[in-house]
């Protein structure tokens, strides 16, 4: 009855646990340099960053351009609005066909067509601006 049962609760033990720990101390300048490098690396933990740097493993430096992120979100919002306009366009054409005479519907459809042509011009300008931004961005990263 003195036998102890091992509980099955908890996390499974690691096959190769990291049990050795070292301490390093930095002065103010070294600490600031370390924090700058760590911040640019995008690694989630300082210890992982130090280990990778110490053993010469490659690590990535992620730079986030806030203007590019803003542009991307605005472009995504515009795309959603463009899809909504397409849905409304279909509904308008359907209602025109059902509730107006052929002559009146054709006149209104002509106006709608003119606005659609303007919308297509605008979307082409947006695509062109996006290509220019992509070209500038690829030149910066080289």
- Model pLDDT, residue 31: 92
Rounded to 10 degrees, what is the CA torsion of 108, 114, 116, 117? Answer: 160
How many CA atoms lie less than 13 Å away from 45 in the CB half-sphere? 4
Question: Comparing C-alpha atoms, which of 47, 41, 43 is closest to residue 20?
Answer: 47
Question: What are the structure tokens assigned to 137, written together?
Answer: 């961005």
- Write out pLDDT tens, residues 81-93: 777 887 888 888 8
Which of the four pLDDT bands, split at 50, 70 and 90, describes residue 1? very low
pTM (2 d.p.): 0.42
């Amino acid at each position: 009855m003195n036998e102890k049962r091992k509980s099955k609760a908890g996390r499974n033990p690691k096959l190769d646990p990291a049990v050795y720990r070292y301490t390093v101390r930095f002065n103010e300048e070294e600490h600031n340099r370390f924090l700058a490098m760590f911040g640019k690396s995008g690694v989630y933990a300082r210890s992982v960053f130090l280990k990778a740097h110490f053993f010469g493993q490659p690590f990535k430096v992620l730079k986030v351009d806030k203007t590019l992120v803003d542009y991307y979100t605005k472009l995504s919002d515009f795309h959603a609005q463009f899809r909504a306009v397409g849905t409304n366009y279909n509904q308008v054409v359907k209602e025109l066909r059902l509730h107006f005479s052929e002559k009146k519907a054709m006149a209104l459809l002509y106006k709608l067509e003119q606005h659609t042509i303007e919308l297509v011009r605008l979307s082409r300008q947006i695509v062109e601006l996006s290509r220019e931004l992509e070209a500038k961005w690829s030149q910066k990263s080289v």
